[in-house]
Amino acid sequence: MRNEFFANIEAGAAAVRSLACSSADRLTRQLASDPVRESQNQLPCPEKPAEPTVRFSRQVLADFRSNVGRYAPETGGMMGSTGDMALVDLCHFDALSRNTPGTFYYDVDSMTKVFHDWAEKGYRVTGIYHSHPRGCIRPSYHDISTALIHLRFFEQDFFYLPILRPARKGLFTLYFYIVHLKGDTLTVDLDHVLRAESGSRYALCTFAPWHREYSVAEMDAYRASLEAQEQPETPAEDPVVKAPAQPAETPDYFGKVRSLYPQKVLEQKVVVCIGVGGARSFLENCARSGLRNFILMDPDIVSPSNIATQAVFISEMGRKKVEVIRDRIRDINPDAQVLCIPRALDDAMSDEAFKAYLDRFPGRKVTDYLILGCTDNFAAQKRSSMLALKYGMPYLAAMMYAHGAAAELIFLYPGVTASCPRCLLRSRFEQYEHGYQNDVDSSACPIFATERMNATKGYLALMLLLYHEAPGSPFNTMLDAVKDRNFVWIRLAPDLKEQLGIQLFDQVLGGDAGCFAYMDETLWVPQHPDRPEFGAKPCKMCGGTGDLRHLQVDWAELDTRAIHFDT
């Protein structure tokens, strides 16, 4: 939240200011009126000698549990009120925030949209909420200076600044601070402390009064010092002239692979990865290949159990997986643009919200995006494939079998590959549609199996991204040779037949060829759309037409969450 804040939202300033409360007297009048009463949508705080000045709706507190209460510290978002400023009944968690272990920076672009959306509905921004590490319960200089920026922008006299200390499993303790601007002085007071308990219960905690005063001048000086740090300068020949620091020479990081995959083509591509834990080395190697635009979606944090099965490090424990991988990608390619979304692709995310993430990389054709389903959650894989078909984008999914005995990969390119995910995995779709639940995870899976799968995934990704766009590259026409074999199986255990009953490898590699095979073989299994001429009923997803592009039209006005296939 720096000076770019003003440049990005000045256009909507008049609309937002007209809806902002402009004096402390207005808040005082609201608090003097009838107290907020309990209803389905609001939760009064328990009785205590000093009643809290501000209350929260049930939904806002539930949202706190599901986002900041479950993530490592320094996450947060925006709060607001639909009417009564003494009731916070709006919040927007910023999944795109840029954070450090000690600082929360919300994403200016996404928050600008929130401001405008709320303003159009007559809602008011009242504060910023964010979490602090254990032991840090007071607002920092940075927090207070940020509040001053918003006080000035919205022309308000007060701003809410709750600090949450996450505990576990969505529990938290909330320290609610109110910042007032009085002339040249900022006052900060602790209004109340609220603890989230199990069973959707909340309890007010006793606390010692806390009050601080800061001069506006010292806050402005602090912000000025931040700006100076962010704009390093080097002396020019004329001592009066100053220029931004620039490296003497930009290293040619990708010179050795430029003829293999044209960098100007890859620089336009966007890799959208849903589920990043096991795909880490794949994503890092995409960056080493020259890909520079990434959207990473995963709600998980790095945990001790990931050490043995994913390419993580002890120093990364407790951090969001998407942010850890973002940092690694940027360490490989400093020019990389990485959008982190620490949430799952589930029914809480609409197609419109998903598309908004894609639109953060504008000016591209649909085949410049590659959507990857790299999660072991079948519902998320199914949804990600449907989104790819709806928007006409290439798709790639990978899944590891129990104990790393085998891996499967499927890929789609609308207008080129004929079979949709349901054609490829019909029996699995039907099992899940009848209530089957998959309990396979990465337990007892050798990390080498994951890395083997990631290697093939990398080849497939380049094959899809460079299709007919890289003359002279072996990846230019690779898809043409396997467009009707878009189901890939890798045998990683010699006794795959005994473990999982899969006999195809023995059938294909039997006879004289058997003496050359043992494990680590790859089969590109021929496929065709489900339709009567191939002995199957028309596919319930694609109709078996053989051209998946019609789904862009059929599903254009639909949300994929509402599309179901009757069994």
pLDDT of residue 567: 52
pLDDT at residue 182 above 80?
A: yes
Contact 382, 397 (CB under 8 A): no
Write out pLDDT tens, residues 379-399: 899 999 999 999 999 999 999
Write out pLDDT tens, residues 461-479: 999 999 999 998 999 999 9
Contact 372, 274 (CB under 8 A): yes
pLDDT-based confidence at residue 102 (cuts at 50, 70, 90): low
Amino acid at 197: E
Sign of CA dihedral 436, 441, 444, 445: positive
pLDDT-based confidence at residue 97 (cuts at 50, 70, 90): confident
Task: Determine the Cα–Cα distance for residues 458 and 408; give it in Å rounded to an integer.
Answer: 14
- Residue whose entry in the numeric block shows the structure tokens 């993430």: 357
Find the length of the chain.
567
Distance of CA 141 to the CA centre of its chain: 28
pLDDT-based confidence at residue 440 (cuts at 50, 70, 90): low
Question: What are all long-range contacts of 284-288, with beta carbons under 8 Å and residues at least 24 apart?
Answer: 284/311, 284/325, 284/328, 284/329, 284/332, 285/454, 285/458, 286/458, 286/461, 287/328, 287/329, 287/332, 287/333, 287/336, 288/332, 288/333
Across 123-133, b (16+ Cβ under 10 Å) vs e yields: bbbbbbbbbbe
SS3 track for 359-414: CCCCCCCHHHEEEEECCCCHHHHHHHHHHHHHHCCCEEEEEECHHHCEEEEEEECC
pLDDT at residue 29 above 50?
A: no
Contact 461, 372 (CB under 8 A): yes
Instruction: Dig out the tokens for 102 from the structure.
Output: 């000690």
pLDDT-based confidence at residue 227 (cuts at 50, 70, 90): low
pLDDT at residue 404 above 90?
A: yes
Which domains occur in the chain, in start order? Answer: 4-227 (3.40.140.10), 256-559 (3.40.50.720)
pLDDT at residue 232 above 50?
A: no
More confident site: 248 or 419:
419
Across 239-264, average pLDDT:
64
Quick one: angle between helices 141-154 and 216-230, nearest 10? Answer: 110
Per DSSP, the three-state class of 251 is coil
pLDDT-based confidence at residue 44 (cuts at 50, 70, 90): very low
Helices (H), 289-371: 321-332, 351-358
Task: Determine the Cα–Cα distance for residues 144 and 164; give it in Å rounded to an integer.
Answer: 15
Across 181-193, average pLDDT:
93
Measured CA angle at 322 (ends 320, 324), to 5 deg: 70
Please spell the DSSP secondary structure of 36-80, one letter per residue.
P--BTTEEPPPP-SS--S-EEEHHHHHHHHHTTTTS-SS-EEEEE
Instruction: Dig out the tokens for 559 from the structure.
Output: 């949300």
pLDDT-based confidence at residue 101 (cuts at 50, 70, 90): low
Across 492-497, average pLDDT:
93
